[in-house]
Structure 1
């Protein structure tokens, strides 16, 4: 049986808005805690920070993969069925607006994760 009823609109998952900044926050904490623990417990002042650089590179790749994935999905959600502005009081526009906001937060979180990881590029030791 084929129904002529319109397809129901997906629920507006507003909680997706917090995922990209949350991923960046976890990346930030993991990066700086790794540096702090390494320098305090395992390295002297002149020790090379290569293990820390490798760990933070792994953290950054994982964080960026998650952020880019969510950004891609939210961009598709934003572009699905109309152009901006999404200012009508309809469920479809609510979903598209949430997609746009999540996409923009993904861009911001991706840049923040890159800037967080640049610290180990410029700092070579625990001095």
Structure 2
């Protein structure tokens, strides 16, 4: 599914960016402001993708029929997949926000 993959890429990009910045480019004060701005951009992009995919999943889930989607029909398969996509989008959105919160609390490389 797309949302957990987006979260994983966001996680890796965020932590690699801060690690490389602090190891190679930070000055004596350990200022991490440029990295914080980059991670904010990563977070906005990741959340936008997750919201779009979650919206598509929600629309597929709500398209006809009521839960549970447990019959062996093509429509129920699509609705179940939409529900799973929507729920994974919610979980991935929360995980992305928690990943981004690290730079809110840690302001320097020290």
* Both structures adopt the same fold (TM-score exceeding 0.5): yes
**Secondary structure of the equivalent of 2:108?**
coil
Tell me the alpha carbon deviations over residues 41-70 of structure 1, each in whole angstroms, 9 at most, x when there is no partner: 001452221100000000000000000000
CA RMSD of superposed structures (Å): 0.8
Report the equivalent of 1:120. 103
Which residue does the alignment assign to 2:56? 73
* Aligned match of 2:91: 108
- 2:64 matches 1:54: no
- Spell out structure 1 runs of 4+ moving beyond 6 A: none
TM (norm. structure 2) is: 0.97
SS in 2 for 1:118: helix
Q: Which has the higher helix share?
A: 2
What is the Cα deviation at residue 72 of structure 1?
0.4
Q: What is the CA–CA distance in structure 2 between the aligned matches of 1:100 and 1:27, rounded to whole Å?
A: 23
1:1-127 map, 5 Å: 18-44=1-27, 46-127=29-110
| TM-score normalised by L of structure 1 | 0.85
Number of corresponding residues: 110
Instruction: State the structure with more CA Rg.
Output: 1
Q: Give ranges in structure 2 of 5+ residues lacking alignment.
A: none
**1:21–1:109: 8 Å Cα contact kept in structure 2?**
yes
1:82 Cα deviation from its structure 2 partner = 1.3
